[in-house]
A = this chain, B = another copy of it.
Amino acid sequence: MSPQPDLPDPAHHDVDSMLSRKFGREVANYFSGSTLNRVSFLRTDYSFISAALTHKSASFLLLNDLAPLAKDPSQLAYAKHEDIKSLIGDNPFAKSEDELIKEYNSSVTLPLVLFLGIDERKKEGFEHGIYKGKPFFAVDVTPRGTVEKEASAVIEAMKAKGLQFVEGRMHMSLNAPEAAIYAHARALTDWNARNPFCAGCGQPTMSVNAGTKRVCPPTDYAALPNAQGGATSVPSTPNTRAACVTRKGITNLSFPRTDPTVIMAVVSHDGKRVLLGRQKRWPPHWYSTLAGFCEPAESVEEAVRREVWEESGVLLGRVVIHSTQPWPYPANLMIGAVGQALPDGEKIHLEYDPELEDAKWVDMDEIREALRVGTSGLGEAPGEGYKEGGLRLPPQTAIANQLLQAVSGGFFNGSTSL
């Protein structure tokens, strides 16, 4: 029934697998590893979504300006249906999507209610057809538009229970399965909030597919401005809006955006050193792997070679992809790779793209030592045993750390690092 049934987590289970024997265990990076089955194909089935939303086991993760509700920085908190009824109504999915589009009124704020999925491992879940599990939703409670007052009241009620909205990017302290749920909720809530207008025609859009799609409705019940600059009364029949190309066929403008990025551990031709770079704003002695955005119409392997050359002047031969990490700030997919310098391509040039303050080759022993004592979040203290002046590196929750572990831990000799 599920991509992650009651079997042990495939990513960490020692299955008798040829891929595991050849490539080692899979690295499951932070922000991945959600325990929810998204059942993505059921998002248009509002009878399913309605049953999930109104079931007593349904959990709602609230986001206020993207800050998630939490018990403490390591654990999310969830609201129940009755906590948010005053904001979202009894059931925003009671009517079909087609009916809701026909009723569209751009002057009324509909708070985003996002279906995240079902946790099939929980016993207290609901049942609908062949599906069974505990439903999870996210709700955007940011006070705005015509529901400002109702949203503020929900926020205050949650705070009165001793819960908090955790701001900033301090979500690296969340336990791993909940970090994945938070990333999922944050990415889609942000995408909806960031795209209130249609890039194809400039008119306001509305959320459908339980929060995972935005469409440009053909009509609008919003009152038009009158000659005095005020508003006319709400019309009995809706106004027809200007034509829009997104209403013909399928277009990516309607769907959430994810920006692929590359991040790469670059090893010298002899495999004994790793190329690291640093940005000016980082704390002293702090370095990391190089990274950058994939561009339109280039492969990941090409993006890795381009970015490494642009930022450091180093020329790469073979590039191998290691693992990937969702990164919801705001919508990145980090694709982690290992690249090897060409024999004559190891000279560092910083004069092309002036993005880095420094780039240098670091011996594997120094990398291993820094992974042992020099890792932490930016602005946090390093580990025990760190000596001032030693190399600082990103924490285990960052894919950069995982890539450095791989190349310094036997990536080339068939061990379990990849």
Contacts and interface: CB of A to CB of B under 8 A. Distances in A.
Interface of A: 2-5, 7, 10-11, 13, 15-20, 22-23, 25-26, 28-29, 31-34, 38-41, 130, 180, 183-184, 186-188, 191, 194-204, 245, 251-253, 255-260, 267, 269, 271, 293-302, 305-306, 308-310, 315-321, 323-326, 328, 330-331, 333, 335, 338-340, 342-345, 351-355, 412, 414
B335 A26 contact: no
Contacts of A318: 10-11, 15, 17, 19-20, 23, 25-26
A237 B62 CA distance: 46
Nearest to A204: B202
B194 A197 contact: no
A407 to B, nearest CB: 10
Specify how many copies of this chain sit in the oligomer.
2
A305 B3 contact: yes
Contact of A333 (B260, B352, B414): B260
Contacts of A26: 301, 318-320
A196 B200 contact: yes
A323 B300 CA distance: 8
Given A19-B338, A202-B202, A298-B326, 12 more contacts: A4-B305, A10-B305, A15-B318, A19-B317, A19-B319, A19-B320, A19-B412, A25-B318, A28-B299, A197-B197, A197-B200, A258-B295
Contact of A194 (B251, B297, B353): B251
Contacts of A184: 296-298
A38 B255 contact: no
Contact of A306 (B40, B253, B315, B343): B40
A321 B319 contact: no
A183 B297 contact: yes
Q: Give 6 nearest A-B pairs by CB, closest first.
A: A187-B296, A197-B202, A41-B353, A19-B318, A32-B299, A10-B317
Contacts of A187: 296-297
Contacts of A197: 197-202
Given A257-B252, A297-B183, A195 B203 contact: no
Contact of A258 (B5, B10, B260, B342): B260
A17 B252 contact: no
